C-alpha cells in the first residue's frame, strides 16, 4: 500500500469495524428507455457487510477494506413507476440481483489514499464484483464528529455486468449506479 497522505481527519486512531448496525450501505439504480415510466428507480440496502478502516496514530487514513454479501441486497424503496412496488416485485428484483451478482462476495481493498480538497480524501483500490476485479476509487468525507460518508458512481459493465432490461428492452436500468455509504467512526 502507498504511504498515507499525511492529512488529519477527526477519527480516533486504530482499526475500526463498520457494518449494518449503525451504518448504511446503499445502491441506487436509475431507469431509462422508452418504458422508463413503468419502472422504478430503486434504493437497495446491503444488509450484510463489514468494512475495516485503519487510522494512523497521526490521524491519517491508512487503509479501507470492505466485504459485502451480494445475497443480502434488499429493495428498500422504489421511486416513480406506474404503480407502487409489491412484495412480489421486491422478491423478483432480489432474485434477479442474486443471479446477476452471483455468490462471490463484493470486496474492496484500498491501495492508496490522497487528499481530494475541501476536507475530503480520495481512496483508490481494487473492487471485486461478480467474480471480476477492477481498479476503483471514491471520495470519502469525514466530519469532526466522526461521521464519514461517500457516494460514488459505478459502471456495471466495467465488471462484466449487463444492466437489467425488461419489457423487451424498452425498460432498462442505467449502466451507472450509485453506491452510498453513511457511517460514524469514533471521533478523536
Answer with the residue of higher pLDDT: 38 or 95.
95
Asked if 74 contacts 115 with a C-beta cutoff of 8 angstroms, the reply is no
Sorted by where each begins, the domain ranges of the chain are 14-184
Query: Is the distance from CB of 171 to CB of 35 less than 8 angstroms?
Result: yes
The pLDDT tens digits for 120-154 are 889 999 999 988 999 999 999 888 788 889 999 99
For the record, the C-alpha cell of 111 comes out as 491501495
Q: What is the pLDDT of residues 5-42, one digit of tens each?
A: 344 556 788 999 999 999 999 999 988 766 667 778 89
- Contact partners, residue 87, CB within 8 Å, separation at least 6: none
Q: Is residue 109 within 8 Å of residue 124, measured between CB atoms?
A: no
Q: Which CATH number fits domain 14-184: 3.30.43.10, 2.40.128.110, 3.40.50.1000, 2.30.130.10?
A: 2.40.128.110
Amino acid at each position: 500500500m502507498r504511504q498515507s497522505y499525511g492529512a488529519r481527519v477527526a477519527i480516533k486512531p486504530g482499526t475500526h469495524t463498520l457494518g449494518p448496525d449503525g451504518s448504511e450501505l446503499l445502491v441506487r439504480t436509475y431507469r431509462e428507455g422508452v418504458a422508463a415510466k413503468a419502472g422504478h428507480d430503486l434504493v437497495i440496502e446491503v444488509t450484510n457487510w463489514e468494512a475495516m478502516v485503519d487510522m494512523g496514530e497521526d490521524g491519517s487514513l491508512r487503509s479501507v477494506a470492505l466485504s459485502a454479501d451480494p445475497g443480502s441486497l434488499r429493495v428498500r424503496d422504489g421511486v416513480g413507476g406506474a404503480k407502487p412496488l409489491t412484495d412480489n416485485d421486491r422478491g423478483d428484483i432480489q432474485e434477479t440481483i442474486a443471479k446477476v451478482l452471483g455468490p462471490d462476495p463484493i470486496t474492496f481493498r484500498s491501495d492508496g489514499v490522497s487528499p481530494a480538497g475541501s476536507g475530503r480524501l480520495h481512496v483508490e483500490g481494487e473492487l471485486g464484483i461478480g467474480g471480476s476485479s477492477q481498479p476503483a476509487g471514491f471520495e470519502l468525507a469525514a466530519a469532526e464528529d466522526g461521521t464519514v460518508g461517500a457516494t460514488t458512481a459505478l459502471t456495471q459493465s466495467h465488471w462484466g455486468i449487463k444492466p437489467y432490461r425488461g419489457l423487451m428492452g424498452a425498460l432498462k436500468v442505467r449502466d451507472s449506479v450509485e453506491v452510498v455509504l453513511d457511517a460514524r467512526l469514533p471521533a478523536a
